[in-house]
Amino acid sequence: MKGRSGAQALMSGPSIGGQELIMKAAAVLDVPELLTTAEVSALLKVNRSTLSRWRSAGAGPRVTWLTANIPRYQRDDIIEWLRQASA
């Protein structure tokens, strides 16, 4: 990996487990943790369909779309949404 930037090294393929590499890269680059719909629904103790309805209505935690079919939630956005909902 000599002579390549960190981003180029990350893109060229992991030398360690893929998930571990992603987590290390996220920590170094200060990327927020992204949670899946299943993870957020378990955290909030609501059904996944409830999160879907909230997304459609603009009523739930802020969502980040990785693609048109892949919603993700930032932990900080969930915490902020909970603070506002309880105020």
Cα separation, 24 vs 48, in Å, equals 29
Helix (H, G, I), strand (E, B) or coil at 35: strand
Cα separation, 86 vs 21, in Å, equals 37
* pLDDT-derived band at 16, boundaries 50, 70, 90: low
pLDDT per position as a tens digit, 46-82: 999 999 999 999 999 999 999 999 999 999 999 999 9
CB 35 within 8 A of CB 75: yes
Q: Among 4-18, 23-37, 54-68, where is mean pLDDT lowest?
A: 4-18
pLDDT per position as a tens digit, 57-67: 999 999 999 99
Q: What is the DSSP string of 63-83?
A: -EEEETTEEEEEHHHHHHHHH
